[in-house]
């Protein structure tokens, strides 16, 4: 039960991403609203949606508030730490969706980045607060990863030199028996990629089409089999650089957040062994 709730909770962040796109189109349709009004309405609607969903599906306000420590990346945690990286990645990517939306409403990049990070943390933090009033309890670790993801999202949005060099991505190998794609930890990998194209000395050489990667993933934490916690290093094709060179900026941007399987070679270690 806890595991299922944990997965729904992280997945809700991705639902919020879709919600943001809907709010963006709705707010654009009403030209009489000021940018600050749009921000207020979007965040209020988001928090209201989380509250209603939490009451209906996550037993919000069904008991007195409580908190618990879940652990980080040790072998005996619920997901081997993959869920913690899920919270980080979700907060990070959600902050950038908010930032992009706020920029489209007329805010400067720095202002939009600050508001985007605050909105992301507010949404993800509010879900954690709601958990404290349910059987699952407030998780200190999840809360801190939400904070860290939003903070890194702010830094990467405000300082392009960082985002040009380092990406945080997820990789998913499809499992058609699993409905919950974004929290199917048995098929997810979390990756930090160092893009050679972000360095001026390399930008005009073919080396710009390559990158170094550091990845982490957990396996078999929802099954009665041998659990794995894997860390690896790799070198692969830099899809953001390749599609940027092909004058496809939107596709290039997409691959700053998502890793395609089979585009790199790697060597790793199972930390459980």
Helix (H) or strand (E) holding 194: strand 188-195
- Indicate the pLDDT class of residue 64, thresholds 50, 70 and 90: confident
Q: What is the pLDDT of residue 243?
A: 97
Strand partners, 268: 232
Question: Lowest-confidence range among 73-82, 89-98, 258-267?
Answer: 73-82
Of the chain, the percentage scoring pLDDT greater than 90 comes to 59
pLDDT at 115: 97
Look at the block and give the residue holding tokens 């089979």.
262
**Residue 2 confidence (pLDDT):** 43
pLDDT over threshold 70, residue 16? no
Using the predicted structure, report yes or no on whether residue 5 has a pLDDT greater than 60. Answer: no
In contact, 90 and 114? CB cutoff 8 Å: no
> Of 236, 176, 188, nearest to 10 (Cα)?
188
pLDDT over threshold 50, residue 82 = yes
- The closest of 74, 231, 83, 76 to 149, measured between CA atoms, is 83
Q: In the predicted model, is pLDDT for residue 25 greater than 50?
A: no
Q: Which pLDDT band holds residue 61 (cuts at 50, 70, 90)?
A: confident
């Amino acid at each position: 039960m806890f595991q299922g709730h944990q997965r729904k909770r992280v997945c809700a962040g991705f639902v919020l991403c879709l919600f943001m796109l809907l709010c963006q189109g709705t707010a654009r349709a009403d030209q009489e609203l000021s940018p600050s009004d749009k921000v207020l309405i979007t965040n209020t609607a988001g928090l209201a949606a989380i509250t209603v969903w939490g009451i209906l599906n996550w037993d919000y306000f069904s008991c007195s508030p409580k908190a618990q420590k879940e652990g980080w990346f040790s072998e005996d945690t619920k997901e081997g730490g993959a869920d913690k990286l899920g919270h980080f990645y979700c907060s990070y990517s959600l902050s950038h969706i908010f930032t992009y939306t706020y920029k489209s409403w007329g805010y400067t990049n720095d202002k939009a980045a600050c508001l985007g990070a605050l909105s992301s943390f507010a949404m993800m933090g509010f879900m954690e607060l709601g958990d404290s009033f349910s059987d699952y309890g407030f998780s200190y670790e999840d809360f801190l990863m939400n904070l860290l993801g939003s903070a890194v999202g702010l830094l990467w949005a405000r300082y392009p030199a960082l985002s040009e060099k380092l990406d945080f991505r997820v990789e998913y190998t499809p499992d058609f028996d699993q409905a919950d794609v974004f929290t199917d930890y048995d098929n997810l990998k979390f990756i930090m990629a160092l893009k050679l194209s972000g360095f001026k000395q390399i930008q005009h050489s073919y080396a710009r089409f390559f990158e170094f990667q550091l990845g982490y993933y957990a396996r078999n934490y929802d099954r009665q089999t041998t659990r794995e916690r894997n860390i690896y290093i790799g070198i692969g094709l830099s899809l953001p650089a390749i599609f940027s060179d092909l004058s496809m900026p939107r596709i290039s941007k997409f691959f700053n957040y998502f890793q395609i399987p089979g585009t790199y070679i790697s060597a790793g270690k199972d930390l459980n062994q």
